[in-house]
Structure 1
Amino acid sequence: MLRRIIIVLFFITYHLTAYSQFGRGFGTNNGNNNNRDNFGFDTVSTPRSNKDISVDSLRKQLDAKKDSVVYTAKFIKYSKLEFLQDSTILFPLDTTTTNFQHFNPLNDPHSPTMNLGVMGMAYRPMLFEPRQSIGFDLGRHFFDRYIEGPMDVKYYQARARYTELYYISPFGGKQEEKFHALHSQNIKPNWNVGAKYAKQGSQGYYAGQISDILNASIWNWYESKNKRYTLLASATFNTIKSNENGSILNDSIFTVPTYVQPIYEQTRLYDSRQRNNARHDVRNNTIFIRQFFNIGKQSVVNNEEVLPTQRVSYTFSYNTQKYYFRYGRPDESGLLKNYYIYQDSTSDSTRLNHLRNEFNYSFYLRGKRLSFLKNELKINAGLVQDYYNYREYTYSRNFQNLTLKGNLTYGLNQRANLNLKLEQVFQGPYAGDFLYQANSEIKLSNNVGSVFLGAYSQNQSPALIYEIETSNHHRWNLNFDRTKTQNLSFAYVNPKFHLKAKAEYFLIGNYMYFTEINNDIYPAQFGSNINLLKLTFGKDFHFGKFTFENYLVYQKTDFESVLRTPEFYSFHSLYMHQDVFKVLKMEFGFDAKYFSQYTANAYAPAIGQFYNKDNTQFGTGPIVDAWMRTNWKRANLFLRYDYLNKGLFSKGYYTIDRYPMPYSLLRFGLSWNFYD
């Protein structure tokens, strides 16, 4: 076992020797946003009869008898923090290759982005996806999908030692490489520890698109033998180094013939002959501890799922964030307008320290105890203290917020439930922020499916970056009103027919955004209410060995020039399943995505923000990728050719003004799991 791991690590290390310095990164499978769990498939051969066994083979079996246990994925289960709030719920490893080829967090089929063209660089959501949070917000979310925090950590229960290796690379290039190694094992049946090391990065498709991202984490999951006490502890470390090339100078690269290779196109901020090019350095580290204690009677289902009647919990977390933007010489392109601090270079820094204490008490009433309750009543009350220390150049600030949290879930019967949630900041500079939510699920029948009703009301203070900025190239001190968001939603899900449909209505008041004023970039607040209707539809079709997946989104707003998003987006995947020799499972097919024409954003590299500039519009024909994915025993493999149809509908496309998207490229991915 150990020898096999060493051989694999040696191969990967040898192949990636050139990536030992900045800009030659490879990375992690970002399980935050996309549910891409890379697990193996194991088979056990049927033993032969005694007549077919030779003396030598019989001796070999006897010698190895003590190691005759064959471990598979069924010996490994996991959970995440969100599934451990009310009870202990475990999930088996997913040993399929579903979505294995969707490795890039920027290209999530159900959550696409507008981005600068390379994994590891800034992005913003393409669809309207408002943040449901209140209180203090730094406002720097342009790297969020590359950061792993406590909510992303998987806690394992491993009867066998579990090791996972994952690697993705293009053929003949250094664009968008990823690697991670994960190991978890039980010290005792009720005590598990683990660690993960991950790298991802790219040398880009065009000059200066260099990124290098490190994610590392360690974790601990302890349960007392009587399952009353639970301790979750983790430490997550994230380092992001992302060059800013300021976009290429050739703004007609897809319309006027050129003989210059993309990697040699001139850029506004990057020069391969110079040192100290523009780049962002980001560090985000968190220490997290959560403790649960069950009081009173509790039920244990299958010796795994724990259902308490009362539970108290305490959470401690300490998070540090550091944002640096550096450029070692004056900008001659005119992209960086002002020099408020340094006249010959740029060295901006923003630092935030966040200490959080949270206390919760939960009470559960179940139908077996009280006849008037058909299913279950859950009541949770919590108090949160957040302490912040913020520093940026000459501006610093220390403050704290106190937030009240509440959650009530009532099961009317086995087919219907109601969930109410509230969060209210009642003390501190952000007092008055609130988020009230109501959701209900009604299960009609196994054949008809379920209906989901939802609504929320949010009152959110502007993010700090909209009100205070004292960097080298941008400066303002402003005051804005809170953003008010009202939402109503209706969803229908029918698993039998692989159907999902959802309708959402948003009413947004005091919408915050960035815009260009007098040839410079400033935050702004829209005075009128914005209405937005969002319709989502997903349907999968199965025809024998063929599967056809479809995901469509329609969005309509009355102020598209302010809230910039395409009106229509769709993703489709057509593939065929084929087994080879009963041990090799293969799927191969095509993915296609499309977004309608919309008014594009521009990008401000010094602060990592996207802003409304002019009426430049972008749209594209379908973007088609061809792929093949397979698993054999414990190994998963995919081959993928991006942008197969380049040149058929267009020579290329944009999602952000002046930043061309990637061209065609062939790549492969491999994951290999060990259970012993």
Structure 2
Amino acid sequence: MYNMLRKIFFLFFILVNTLQAFAQFGSTLRRNDGFGFDTTSTNKPTSNRDISVDSLRKQLDGKKDSVVFNAKYIKFTKAAFLEDSTRLFNLDTTAKDFQHFNPLNDPHSPTMNLGVLGMAFRPMLFEPRKDIGFDIGLHYFDRYIEGPQDIKYYQARARYTELYYVSPFGGKQEEMFHVLHSQNIKPNWNMGAKYAKTGSQGYYAGQVSDILNASLWNWYQSKSKRYTLLVSANFNTIKSNETGSIFNDSVFTAKTIVEPLFERTRLYNSREAGNARHNVKNNTIFVKQFYNIGKQRLVDSGEVALPTQRVSYAFSYNRQKYNFRYGRVDTTGLFKNYYIYQDSTSDSTRLDHVRNEFAYSFYIRGKRISFLKNEVKVNAGLVQDYYRYNQYTYNKNFQTLTLKGNVTYGLSNRINLNVGLQQIFQGPYIGDFLYEANSEVKLSNSVGSIFLGAYSQNQSPAVNYEMQTSNHRRWDLNFDRTKTQNLSFAYSNPKFDLKAKAEYFLVSNYLYFGADANGDITPAQVSGNINMLKLTLSKDFHVGKLTLENYIVYQKTDYESVLRTPEIYTFHSLYMHQDLFKVLKMDFGFDIKYFGKYTANSYAPDIGQFYNKDNTRFDTWPIVDAWVRTNWKRANLFVRYDYLNKGLFSRGYYTVDRYPMPYSVARFGLSWNFYD
């Protein structure tokens, strides 16, 4: 497979180099306007020198006519955008943000991590979860897992195939590959599949990860637009080694002749079998059906139906397995207790979750409508969840019933209000709730929009805070519910590429992992209130072909020693745009990331949890990446060099105590779309 992808990559460069030879046919080449649409008129008369693609095919094939498919023939949606009606989106065939391939380095949601794609992480910024009810608490691999909410359902008038590949030059760190195929069986019936593989050999000894994501989906809609069926299946497998951190805690501050790959780590030994490893499986089967009752309005040339009443039913079955294996006894002091096995470790946690959700919606609209505006929408639902949880000798089986409701009122095309509630009224988590309200006020196209938001949440402790039965950790505790109150104000002005948001959080009974007198991880709860102010600003500047994108976050809390997040985080992208041969679009520039000093977390490898232990604080400096990205019709390519400024201010950096972040590396990425 690797050789095949190298050939595809080489072919791409050959095609780019031949573009100049086709420049004389520039008026017949199809142009992309940056949003996936073809801007070339098919009715434009041709000169003696201009030969259209259709005419050429007609001469060669003897056909009366033919169609050259492009991205405008492919649209997609997600389950979340089918709640009210069918909302379709065009494919983004531009190279915008294409170089940001790593989910751990999301510019707007950075992470503290162990330095390798496929290993554990936690959010760097304050991002509380808005869940209620049962929570397994094991979220250290969440960004590597794809679920029903991530499935894209396509409306493909042509068969659509997507190839994607990322690899370093001359190495095996963080290779990514996926292939996706979707096609319509009938005009109202689409099916598709995706296969993705991510792996890394790491930068330090033992940093090996292997991620498999596979999915299948089906989207059927009756010809009358009344009935919709979604079916999907997700399969995720993650194999991730644990090194236990390196011994050398001055790897970036003291001179050494040892290459990073040969630094000693606590849990890895290349000469022995049984190295520490997580093996996680997360599989989901999902089925959802909608049916429109009564009158419905067809808009967009009959492509979209706006119902007056709708009923829906959703079923899902999710199985999660978490296994940690270590084939020998730890002699470094990392694991102090052996409660079950004395000569090795074999921990296992399993969760089976069945969900049934019933919902009824009705809509009141005026005679003059615009899409999902000028309407009152009421949605009421009942959710039944059944859980079966097992960890060693601890077993728990139960069910919960949750009432869900949502009311949306569109006062006009400029003002809308949304109020929602979730309340568990039966089962062991009775009393958990989430109430929220949001409003958007559009002032004008030039002035922008204002967004107001608030929510109140009452959340029971995740199971891993109260019960742990594994080889090295054991506790049986009881904690109070965590209460979160939030107020937010946001302003957006697309005309000036400006977004600003202010958020205030008041958190009571906050749960976290701390350290006991022996330095071992242990759950803890803050008995008082935690205040958090979070300010976010996004502003882009354009001067000719030069663009400067800015994203700045300021956080201030009275419990920094507990939350342990940086007070300031910034991300900047400076780049220049250049078109070559009229069809090749190119951007080249720099990304600059910076986060302020904060007290670093420690990490417990056997249970995948970050916890507060020592008061270690690291010096921080800007991190600079250089990159080039290109777009040519159906293909995107990037080449980037990470950590360009290594050695300028420091020899390296950390986000988690004793886990060095990657050093400098060059890599490339390629995506190619096919429509036929």
Report the TM-score when normalising by structure 2.
0.92
Question: Which amino acid in 1 is paired with 2:576?
Answer: M
**Superposed displacement of residue 66, structure 1:** 6.5
Task: Report the secondary structure of 2:560's partner residue.
Answer: coil
**Superposed displacement of residue 12, structure 1:** 7.1
Question: Which amino acid in 1 is paired with 2:581?
Answer: F
Quick one: structure 1 residues 406 and 73, their matched pair in 2 at CA, closer, same or farther if it must change by over 3 Å? Answer: same
- For the 8 Å contact 1:41–1:632, the answer to whether it is kept is no
Query: For residues 389-427 of structure 1, what are the alpha-carbon distances to aligned partners after superposition, in whole Å with 9 as ceiling and x for unaligned?
Result: 011101111000000000000111121111000000000
**Superposed displacement of residue 614, structure 1:** 1.5
1:227 to 222, 225, 228: 225
Question: What is the alpha-carbon distance in structure 1 between the residues aligned to residue 170 and residue 564 of structure 2?
Answer: 37
- For the 8 Å contact 2:601–2:657, the answer to whether it is kept is yes
Query: For residues 184-209 of structure 1, what are the alpha-carbon distances to aligned partners after superposition, in whole Å with 9 as ceiling and x for unaligned?
Result: 00000000000000000100011111
**Superposed displacement of residue 305, structure 1:** 2.6
Query: For residues 456-513 of structure 1, what are the alpha-carbon distances to aligned partners after superposition, in whole Å with 9 as ceiling and x for unaligned?
Result: 0000000000000000000000000000000000000001000000000000000000
The aligned runs of 1:177-196 (5 Å cut-off) are 177-196=175-194
Quick one: structure 1 residues 374 and 322, their matched pair in 2 at CA, closer, same or farther if it must change by over 3 Å? Answer: closer
Task: Report the secondary structure of 1:562's partner residue.
Answer: helix
Question: Which amino acid in 2 is paired with 1:390?
Answer: Y
- For the 8 Å contact 1:40–1:632, the answer to whether it is kept is no
Paired-residue identity, %: 76
1:310 is matched with 309
Task: Report the secondary structure of 2:428's partner residue.
Answer: coil
Task: Report the secondary structure of 1:599's partner residue.
Answer: coil
Task: Report the secondary structure of 1:668's partner residue.
Answer: strand
Question: What is the alpha-carbon distance in structure 2 between the residues aligned to residue 655 and residue 411 of structure 1?
Answer: 45
Question: What is the alpha-carbon distance in structure 1 between the residues aligned to residue 494 and residue 227 of structure 2?
Answer: 36
Question: What is the alpha-carbon distance in structure 1 between the residues aligned to residue 7 and residue 57 of structure 2?
Answer: 34
Query: For residues 435-465 of structure 1, what are the alpha-carbon distances to aligned partners after superposition, in whole Å with 9 as ceiling and x for unaligned?
Result: 0000000011111000000000000000000
Question: What is the alpha-carbon distance in structure 2 between the residues aligned to residue 402 and residue 525 of structure 1?
Answer: 27
- For the 8 Å contact 1:40–1:672, the answer to whether it is kept is no
- For the pair 1:216 / 2:214, whether they are aligned, the reply is yes
Question: Which amino acid in 2 is paired with 1:641?
Answer: Y
- For the 8 Å contact 2:9–2:670, the answer to whether it is kept is no
**Superposed displacement of residue 79, structure 1:** 0.1
Runs of 4+ in 1 over 3 A off after TM superposition: 5-15, 38-53, 57-60, 64-68
- For the 8 Å contact 2:293–2:307, the answer to whether it is kept is yes
Question: What is the alpha-carbon distance in structure 2 between the residues aligned to residue 251 and residue 59 of structure 1?
Answer: 66
- For the 8 Å contact 1:642–1:665, the answer to whether it is kept is yes
- For the 8 Å contact 2:512–2:523, the answer to whether it is kept is yes
Question: Which amino acid in 2 is paired with 1:531?
Answer: N
- For the 8 Å contact 2:37–2:72, the answer to whether it is kept is no
Question: Which amino acid in 2 is paired with 1:84?
Answer: L
- For the 8 Å contact 2:429–2:460, the answer to whether it is kept is yes
Quick one: structure 1 residues 646 and 67, their matched pair in 2 at CA, closer, same or farther if it must change by over 3 Å? Answer: farther
Quick one: structure 1 residues 47 and 655, their matched pair in 2 at CA, closer, same or farther if it must change by over 3 Å? Answer: farther
Query: For residues 143-163 of structure 1, what are the alpha-carbon distances to aligned partners after superposition, in whole Å with 9 as ceiling and x for unaligned?
Result: 000000000000000000000
- For the 8 Å contact 1:113–1:127, the answer to whether it is kept is yes
Question: What is the alpha-carbon distance in structure 1 between the residues aligned to residue 57 and residue 112 of structure 2?
Answer: 63
Matched residue count:
645
**Superposed displacement of residue 528, structure 1:** 1.0
1:464 is matched with 463
1:107 is matched with 105
Question: What is the alpha-carbon distance in structure 2 between the residues aligned to residue 50 and residue 610 of structure 1?
Answer: 70
Task: Report the secondary structure of 1:232's partner residue.
Answer: strand
The aligned runs of 1:7-156 (5 Å cut-off) are 11=7, 49=47, 61-63=59-61, 65=63, 68-156=66-154
1:485 is matched with 484
Q: Which has the higher contact order (CA 8 A, sep 6+)?
A: 1
1:584 is matched with 584
**Superposed displacement of residue 550, structure 1:** 0.2
Quick one: structure 1 residues 236 and 66, their matched pair in 2 at CA, closer, same or farther if it must change by over 3 Å? Answer: farther
Quick one: structure 1 residues 199 and 476, their matched pair in 2 at CA, closer, same or farther if it must change by over 3 Å? Answer: same
Query: For residues 265-304 of structure 1, what are the alpha-carbon distances to aligned partners after superposition, in whole Å with 9 as ceiling and x for unaligned?
Result: 1100011111110010000000000000001111122132
Question: What is the alpha-carbon distance in structure 2 between the residues aligned to residue 307 and residue 210 of structure 1?
Answer: 50
Question: What is the alpha-carbon distance in structure 1 between the residues aligned to residue 49 and residue 604 of structure 2?
Answer: 76
Task: Report the secondary structure of 1:277's partner residue.
Answer: coil
Question: Which amino acid in 1 is paired with 2:160?
Answer: Y
- For the pair 1:521 / 2:521, whether they are aligned, the reply is yes
1:284 to 282, 285, 288: 282
Question: Which amino acid in 2 is paired with 1:78?
Answer: F
Question: Which amino acid in 1 is paired with 2:488?
Answer: S
1:344 is matched with 343
Question: Which amino acid in 1 is paired with 2:201?
Answer: Q
Question: Which amino acid in 1 is paired with 2:541?
Answer: F
Q: Which moved more, 1:66-75 or 1:457-466?
A: 66-75
- For the 8 Å contact 2:222–2:228, the answer to whether it is kept is yes
Task: Report the secondary structure of 2:177's partner residue.
Answer: strand
**Superposed displacement of residue 64, structure 1:** 5.7
- For the pair 1:675 / 2:675, whether they are aligned, the reply is yes
- For the 8 Å contact 1:41–1:631, the answer to whether it is kept is no
2:27 is matched with none
**Superposed displacement of residue 619, structure 1:** 3.9
1:270 to 268, 271, 277: 268
- For the 8 Å contact 1:89–1:306, the answer to whether it is kept is no
The aligned runs of 1:247-646 (5 Å cut-off) are 247-302=245-300, 303-368=302-367, 375-519=374-518, 520-646=520-646
Question: What is the alpha-carbon distance in structure 2 between the residues aligned to residue 565 and residue 384 of structure 1?
Answer: 35
**Superposed displacement of residue 51, structure 1:** 7.4
RMSD over aligned Cα, in angstroms?
A: 2.3
Task: Report the secondary structure of 1:145's partner residue.
Answer: helix
2:19 is matched with none
- For the 8 Å contact 1:423–1:434, the answer to whether it is kept is yes
- For the 8 Å contact 2:450–2:489, the answer to whether it is kept is yes
Question: Which amino acid in 2 is paired with 1:294?
Answer: N
The aligned runs of 1:198-209 (5 Å cut-off) are 198-209=196-207
Question: What is the alpha-carbon distance in structure 1 between the residues aligned to residue 600 and residue 392 of structure 2?
Answer: 32
**Superposed displacement of residue 87, structure 1:** 1.1
Quick one: structure 1 residues 432 and 644, their matched pair in 2 at CA, closer, same or farther if it must change by over 3 Å? Answer: same
- For the 8 Å contact 2:118–2:211, the answer to whether it is kept is yes
Query: For residues 491-544 of structure 1, what are the alpha-carbon distances to aligned partners after superposition, in whole Å with 9 as ceiling and x for unaligned?
Result: 000010000000000000000000110222110111110000000000000111
- For the 8 Å contact 1:42–1:633, the answer to whether it is kept is no
- For the 8 Å contact 1:625–1:643, the answer to whether it is kept is yes
Quick one: structure 1 residues 511 and 6, their matched pair in 2 at CA, closer, same or farther if it must change by over 3 Å? Answer: closer
- For the 8 Å contact 1:40–1:633, the answer to whether it is kept is no
Task: Report the secondary structure of 2:465's partner residue.
Answer: helix
Question: What is the alpha-carbon distance in structure 2 between the residues aligned to residue 10 and residue 662 of structure 1?
Answer: 25
Quick one: structure 1 residues 242 and 39, their matched pair in 2 at CA, closer, same or farther if it must change by over 3 Å? Answer: farther
- For the pair 1:658 / 2:658, whether they are aligned, the reply is yes
2:25 is matched with none
Runs of at least 5 residues in structure 2 that lack an aligned partner in the other structure: 12-33
Question: What is the alpha-carbon distance in structure 1 between the residues aligned to residue 291 and residue 672 of structure 2?
Answer: 37
- For the 8 Å contact 1:237–1:286, the answer to whether it is kept is yes
- For the 8 Å contact 1:40–1:634, the answer to whether it is kept is no
Quick one: structure 1 residues 668 and 66, their matched pair in 2 at CA, closer, same or farther if it must change by over 3 Å? Answer: farther
1:19 is matched with none
Query: For residues 49-89 of structure 1, what are the alpha-carbon distances to aligned partners after superposition, in whole Å with 9 as ceiling and x for unaligned?
Result: 55788xxx979824263773110000000001111111110
Question: Which amino acid in 2 is paired with 1:391?
Answer: N
Task: Report the secondary structure of 1:102's partner residue.
Answer: coil
Question: Which amino acid in 2 is paired with 1:423?
Answer: Q
- For the 8 Å contact 2:35–2:90, the answer to whether it is kept is no
Report the TM-score when normalising by structure 1.
0.92
- For the pair 1:648 / 2:648, whether they are aligned, the reply is yes
Question: What is the alpha-carbon distance in structure 1 between the residues aligned to residue 510 and residue 208 of structure 2?
Answer: 33
Task: Report the secondary structure of 1:263's partner residue.
Answer: helix
Query: For residues 370-391 of structure 1, what are the alpha-carbon distances to aligned partners after superposition, in whole Å with 9 as ceiling and x for unaligned?
Result: 9xx9911000000000000011
Quick one: structure 1 residues 59 and 406, their matched pair in 2 at CA, closer, same or farther if it must change by over 3 Å? Answer: closer
- For the 8 Å contact 1:89–1:304, the answer to whether it is kept is no
